[in-house]
Amino acid sequence: MLLRRAFLISSVAWAACIPLTAYAASRPDASTLVYGLAVAAYSVGHLICHQLPARSFHLWGAALPVCARCTGIYLGAAAASVVPGLAAGRPSSEARRVLLIAVVPTAATLVFEWTTGVTPSNWIRALAGAPLGVAVAWAVGMIN
């Protein structure tokens, strides 16, 4: 129960932080505190993502702190984590199966990129990542 709550709070907070960070970074008149929070979010983003500008969404003239694929994963996880009763009574073998199925779209875009040298659009990358985020939130919600 505690892990579910921690996941809910952290996934929703990080999902909200993603666009808010770009907004804060784009404000030339932002306070030191707001600017510091933006720097912290971009630093965390750097630890978990490549942050390539061409592979990231841009809002208010600033790149988001994570790429489009990561944005999809985190927004999917946040959306799924707030659905009440999402994982009631599911066996762990079903969770593994769901996670394996959910990784297919992301894996397909990666294989496509690596074999053709062509990068899918950011929207395709984000939409491919969303099922993985949803599945992870669902699997975390199953933990008692």
Give 19-34 pLDDT, tens digit per residue: 999 999 888 887 888 8
pLDDT value of position 138: 82
Question: Residue 116: which residues within 8 A CB-CB, separation 6 or more?
Answer: none
Question: Could you tell me the pLDDT band of residue 67, with boundaries at 50, 70 and 90?
Answer: very high
Give the number of other CB atoms < 10 A from CB of residue 73: 29
End-to-end Cα distance, the chain = 6
Q: Cα-Cα-Cα-Cα dihedral of 122, 125, 26, 51, to 10°? A: -110
pLDDT value of position 139: 81
Q: Is the pLDDT at 135 greater than 80, yes or no?
A: yes
pLDDT value of position 74: 92
Give the number of other CB atoms < 10 A from CB of residue 109: 18
The pTM assigned to this predicted structure is 0.81
Q: Which helix (H) or strand (E) holds 130?
A: helix 122-142
Tokens for 94?
């079903």
**Nearest CA-CA partner of 22 in 60, 69, 78, 76:** 60
